[in-house]
Amino acid sequence: MSLDLQPPDLAPRTDRTHRAAATPVGRDRRRGRRNVPAGIAAAVWLLIVAVPVYYIVITGFRGQNDYIEQGPLDLPTRPTLENFTALFHLGFTTYLGNSLMVAFGTVALVLVIALPAAYAVVRNPSRLVRSVFNVFLLGLAVPAQAVIVPIYLIITRLHLYDTLLAVVLPTAAFSLPIAIVVLTSSLRDIPNELYEAMAVDGATATRIFGRLVLPLARPGLVSVGIFVGLGAWNGILFPLVLTQSQDQRVLPLGLWNFQNQYGTNVPGLMAAVVLSALPVLALYLFGRRHLLSGLAAGFGK
């Protein structure tokens, strides 16, 4: 009796190895490898963003003497709320109310005009509507600084100088082009079959707009509202040129109260920055998903 001592065939095992590497599990293992350079870059970027925010917050809780004596990133040894309480004696509530009125007024005016305009662009294929839409698109290429003098003359001729309406109107006008672009792309995502089904049921254009377009355009309206509101909240050009009295100042201009000819109250200024940023942060956290998706849809088509 003879024994077969030949080594086993290794080819099948090699094939199994290649097949295992080609399976989804093998691909997932390769994808699961750590991207060290990306992690380092993300950590550096986080540090760049976090350090200024940390400086602003801790400086707001310092006194003038502590700010001068301590380092810029040291924790305050004697934290105080005097900077925050002093804001209300410098007209902070007035500036906050003016900024809220400008922001809400601008958002309301833009949404009331932009949504019907976007609906007309989507549902009316006439050449006149396309020409008007192209004119709105040209507004994206015109900076506000280039036409600030004609705007000033128009506002003064309308006797609106040194009023909040003088800030709301041009801010809304320069926000309309991007609002119409975003809402037009959002309305184009509505299937045409829905329009046809409501038309077959005898719905008028007004009914279609109220029952179909308005509910389905809600994500786009939220994204436009947040984007326009942030721009109106942080705007400084129109309030600087079109207002002059203390009662009509908004928050960006109100921060000048912490400057004088002898220096700047840096802790008080940082406290004001912290309080003025809280409404913006809350608004962004509330609608960040709609903001990013709406803007991506608007520029993606």
127 in the same domain as 70: no
246 in the same domain as 134: yes
pLDDT (0 to 100) of residue 83: 85
76 in the same domain as 108: no
* Residue 298, pLDDT above cutoff 80: no
Residues 6+ apart with CB under 8 A from 260: none
pLDDT (0 to 100) of residue 28: 52
Per residue in 133-144, pLDDT (tens digit) is: 888 788 788 888
Answer whether 180's CB lies under 8 Å from 121's CB: yes
139 in the same domain as 275: yes
What is the pLDDT confidence band of residue 169, given thresholds at 50, 70 and 90? Answer: very high
Please report whether residue 25 resides in a domain: no
141 in the same domain as 61: no
Please report whether residue 226 resides in a domain: yes
260 in the same domain as 111: yes
pLDDT (0 to 100) of residue 278: 86
169 in the same domain as 67: no
| Range list of H helices, 124-163 | 127-138, 148-157
**Length of the chain measured in residues:** 301
* Residue 300, pLDDT above cutoff 50: no
* Residue 184, pLDDT above cutoff 70: yes
Per residue in 233-289, pLDDT (tens digit) is: 988 899 999 998 888 989 888 887 777 656 678 888 888 888 888 888 887 777 666
From CA 257, how far away is CA 252, in angstroms rounded? 10
Q: Which of 240, 238, 233, 223 is nearest to 106 (CA)?
A: 233
Give mean pLDDT, residues 208-215.
Answer: 84
- pTM for the complete prediction? 0.76
How many domains are there within the chain?
A: 2
271 in the same domain as 160: yes
266 in the same domain as 191: yes
Per residue in 75-128, pLDDT (tens digit) is: 888 888 888 888 888 788 889 999 999 999 999 999 999 999 888 888 887 888
Per residue in 13-65, pLDDT (tens digit) is: 555 545 544 555 555 555 557 788 888 888 899 888 888 889 889 988 888 88
Angle between helices 164-188 and 148-157 (to 10 degrees): 120
Please report whether residue 14 resides in a domain: no
Tokens 């179909």 — which residue?
212
Output the domain CATH number for residue 151.
1.10.3720.10
Q: Which of 289, 277, 300, 180 is nearest to 230 (CA)?
A: 277
Please report whether residue 1 resides in a domain: no
Domain extent for 60 = 37-80
235 in the same domain as 207: yes
173 in the same domain as 105: yes
Answer whether 162's CB lies under 8 Å from 243's CB: yes
287 in the same domain as 148: yes
pLDDT (0 to 100) of residue 27: 53
